[in-house]
Amino acid sequence: MNPTRLKGPAIARLRIDCFLRDEGRCGECDCRVYLDRGFFDRMHMAHIKSRGAGGPDTLDNVRTLCMKCHMLEHNGGKPCPPKPLIEPPCDFGLPLEALLGEVE
């Protein structure tokens, strides 16, 4: 059986839903991540059961990770420790309504 594979607006919507459910925090180290920011603090949507192992693109099979924790996960490392962060006002890079309005 082929797992659910989402593309385009559907995968973008899943990413936003994952980010909102996880309140913009990495599921491993709890650092703040952003939907649309610079490379290093951008949200990574990681599959719990990998797509290669048959994991679907569904909200219950994805979680929010920071780049460092996602890379460590793929390299078999341990999650990074929490890092101190001075948080700017959270504006997601764009108004949330604009992000939600672009995907249906």
Asked if residues 67 and 26 have their Cβ atoms less than 8 Å apart, the reply is no
Task: Give residue 103's pLDDT.
Answer: 46
Question: What stretches of the chain adopt beta strand conformation (E)?
Answer: 44-47, 62-65
**How many other C-beta atoms lie within 10 A of the C-beta of residue 76?**
6
| The pLDDT of residue 98 | 56
Residues 12, 84: Cα–Cα separation, whole Å: 29
Sorted by where each starts, the structural domains of the chain and their CATH numbers stand as: 8-80 (3.40.1800)
Region of 67 on the Ramachandran plot (φ > 0 left; ψ -120 to 50 alpha; else beta): alpha
Which two structure tokens, joined as six digits, stand for 60?
């219950």
List pLDDT tens digits, range 19-59.
999 999 999 999 999 887 666 678 899 999 988 899 999 99
